[in-house]
Structure 1
Amino acid sequence: MGTRVISCWLAVLLLVLTTWHAVAGETKGPPAGYRIGPNDVIRIQVFGEEDLSVEARVSGDGKLDYPLLGVLQVGGKTTQDLQALLTKRLSAGYVRSPKVTVSIARHRNVYVSGEVKTPGGFPFEDGLTAQKAVTMAGGFTDKAVRNGLTITRRSEGHEQTFNAPLTTPLLPDDMLVVAQLQKFYLMGEVMRPGPYPFEEQLTAKKAVSFGGGYTDKADKKTLKVTRVTESGAQTIAIGPDDLILPSDILAVGSHNYKVYISGEVRAPGAYPYSENISLQKALTLAGGVTEKADRKEMTVRRVVGGQEQTLVLPLEAAVQPEDLIVVREGQKVYVTGEVKTPGRYAYEAGATVQRVLTLAGGVTEKAEASVVKLTRTTAEGVETTVVALDAAVVPEDIILVVPKSDRFYVSGEVKNPGGYAHKEGLSLQKALAMAGGATEKGDVERVQVVRIVNHQEEHVAVTLESLVLPEDTIVVAERQKVYVTGEVRTRGGIRMRRGCRCRRR
């Protein structure tokens, strides 16, 4: 009998130990030297003490509320540190020889930003690489540099940023940034003009090869780069071994003279030069200007005496060989608020607020036509003022048509019938005073209020102390009259007063 009981207890103990190791094996150990931080989910198991075995999230300040011991500061500790701390604290009068195991149930997030489809934070998991994190973020966008990954990592209170291949393992709290693809542009006598991905140590010769090489008309010695610097755009002659920088425009010249057209035209590119060609005709070669273009003046970059000059010319001006014509986007004014077609509109010299509102289709029925606000950026800052309709506008002005405020209406025997701005708590007596009060013919004891209730008009009984609601119509009636004729001294109509009686004398 005793042997059978001992065997039974051994079987139970074996089952408990098997279950314990199975549960403990569900969570892999954290990376070497990993320190607990906010949002980590910690699993603490005390053998034989179910009430002390918990799974909880570390708070933002690195603390954890644990049974019996209260709030513990666990942030910055390793799992081994926390395990030793719990063992020591529980041994001090709570549990005899506690067997404590601490593991990370769920790590805090890693973060992916830049040129990925769904940037954000994602749960860390063991074995997570940069490649897998990008996949979790929806993959690369079309603008991504697939070998341009950087990782920002905080360790021991210090932050470091380094370049990383896709196979780089990630740690919790890592920030992975996918860089945007930089480009350069080919134009002129190349087989396939257009934008191309930039790469380090890119020479002009290699850049031309991206575009399919030179055309038959190309002058391989005539290479020009238009480059934007702190002092502005510059066009310089370069050789085939000179380096190309991001956003450079590399133009390959031809044995035949060309003019180059870019900016707000429908078909930018290089076009054959002919004698006495005007800017207007040159733009026609490029398909004409777009809707956004400034149609009055064009910018022409021209080399004069070995130096590039930027000229602003009218459409009738003549083009010279190798000119670069840049069609700028036109100046705009912006209209918003209660207009029929809000948006941006081409600025016209001398335009007024009224003219711009006409371009926007006019104001809506909800507009407070007498209140138009104009926001303008000046050297002193941004200013917003109420302006008249004949006020002049300047480029980049923002015109706001304000919606109507709540109103009520007064008619009948008042001195100034019309609509008035409604205010909360407005009484009938004050509303009549706003309309100038009743006329001599008005009967303030016979005032009617027409009110919309459930989309239907109703006549509401009121007193002078009654509240007026938005859209109410107040009607002051004319005093009633009685008419006297016959053998009286003054025949005619007499205004009726309440309680008035006729007496014979």
Structure 2
Amino acid sequence: MIRVCLTVAAIAAILFVIGCASRGGDTQDASLQQFQQQMVAQERISDINDKLLMMAVQGAGDRVYRVGAEDRIRVDIFGVDELSREYRVNGAGNILLPLIGEVSVSGLTLSEVEQTIAAAYAEEYLRNPQVSAEITEYRSQQFTVIGAVANPKVYSVSRQTTLIEALAMAGGISREAGNSVYLTDRVRDPDTGQLGTRTLIIDVEDLMQQAEQYNLVLGEGAMINVPRGGFVYVEGAVERPGAYSQRADTTVLKAIAEAGGLAFEADRSDIRVLRRQDDGGWEAQDIDYEQIRDNPANDLPLRNGDIVIVDSSALRVGWNNFLRVAQPIALLGFRPL
């Protein structure tokens, strides 16, 4: 009887040690994972900002300045001093010329402004007028960048600016940034010529990968907002299931690390990410933990509202339950008879 009890106790003790070692290994994995994620997060933000700067430099100089509301323009007509003066472009994009009245100049280059004014005076008042125009005060090409960027403030430029250039001028996005950029500005309708408000939400990844479509030229009075991240939800076989802050650098690995790492019973090959689609449905993406841990470059960036579900392994759950039963038996086996 004593021999049987001791045998059971020995087996249970061995299983107990193995179980503890497995858990200890998971704890070490979680600590290593957190360190790796900090490095990957820094590298990802740095990579995004490097791309912003590179794309901004490559695109610089491709556009000429176009006049907008609140700009101040100096118009000189050769030989006619009384018609040479400065004008402030009004909110409707017009200037008020002597003898002529209102002339629309918003959206025109300086060369086009000169041609427009020359044509207006040539109709009735001057023969072959020589007109020159220059910007003396840039007001329409001011834009504001707020939110999770390095240098949020109002910027004044002397030419048209793209969204990527504006973000680069603001020092790039910070780690607290979410995955979207909000743009509000005033642009002219190409069909009617009317000035209207444009409001867009642009995904950061789309901006990086599809710049030809999303790297828009800023309109008048542009306001760029880079909101801080929202939340992602981690459920299932992790140490601390719950909601966690979502930032531009949040990935599956990082979310799991913030949730305390995988629990002992986690199935490392069965992780799902649920993401809500525009039509209200959900898209599921399967993730293999070991694959993304071994190659963090393949780690999936998470968006606000994403749900990470870590399923349990039936084998590990059974093993864990066996340990819970075996440990009390082992302790009973060591009681003196």
TM-score, structure 1 as length reference: 0.32
With a CA cutoff of 8 Å and minimum separation of 6, indicate the structure with the bigger relative contact order.
Answer: 2
Structure with the greater alpha carbon radius of gyration: 1
Q: Which is strand-richer, 1 or 2?
A: 1
